[in-house]
């Protein structure tokens, strides 16, 4: 397969966001990795959809500032093989420079679990950031958006939360007070 410096963007089939398969292709990981990555970064699956803006915020702390940035963020993430080909630096050198802090390009995001003894090999990069550094071109305008803390809520906890919020009506509920008011509404 020939090397492609520019790759086709992944445009979601649904305006609500990325399906699980689209997220898998965007991240460049296997289908068994998507759920673990989503949990690790706090990406909530909303009826089979991952909103794009949430994915970008949680992974990179970024949002699109203009149309060029939107197109850049929709391009599938690059793995180390792509970065090696784009920069001309061997993969082992990239890994060594990342570990030692001497890597001159963007550090990317580590999608793999870093808490075990094995070296994770799921680091991904936004291709536009690598290309702009390599070619000396300006970056698109990205908006900085701090990620929210990853707080996975399971189905059981979500169901319990729904039960407690619907079963208990607070006494100072405005809508309950309006509906309980026997006075006729003025017109």
Supply the range of the domain harboring residue 14. Answer: 1-187
Which residue shows structure tokens 């929210």? 148
pLDDT tens digits, one per residue of 70-115: 999 999 999 999 999 999 999 999 999 998 989 999 989 999 877 7
pLDDT tens digits, one per residue of 24-73: 999 999 989 999 999 999 998 999 999 999 999 999 999 999 999 999 99
Q: Report the candidate in 144, 150, 134 with the shortest Cα–Cα distance to residue 60.
A: 144
* Domain total in the chain: 1
């Amino acid at each position: 397969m020939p090397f492609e410096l520019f790759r086709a963007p992944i445009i979601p089939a649904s305006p609500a966001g990325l399906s699980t398969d689209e997220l898998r292709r965007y991240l460049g990981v296997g289908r068994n990795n998507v759920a673990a990555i989503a949990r690790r970064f706090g990406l909530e699956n909303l009826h089979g959809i991952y909103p794009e803006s949430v994915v970008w915020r949680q992974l990179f702390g970024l949002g699109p500032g203009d149309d060029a940035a939107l197109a850049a963020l929709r391009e599938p993430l690059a793995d180390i093989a792509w970065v090696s080909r784009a920069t001309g630096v061997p993969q082992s050198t990239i890994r060594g420079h990342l570990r030692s802090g001497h890597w001159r390009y963007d550090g990317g995001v580590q999608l793999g679990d870093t808490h075990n003894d094995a070296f994770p090999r799921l680091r991904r990069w936004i291709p536009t950031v690598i290309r702009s550094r390599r070619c000396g071109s300006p970056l698109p305008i990205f908006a900085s958006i701090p990620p929210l803390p990853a707080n996975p809520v399971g189905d059981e906890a979500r169901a319990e939360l729904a039960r407690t919020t619907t079963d208990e009506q607070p006494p100072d509920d405005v809508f309950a007070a309006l509906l309980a008011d026997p006075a006729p509404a003025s017109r």
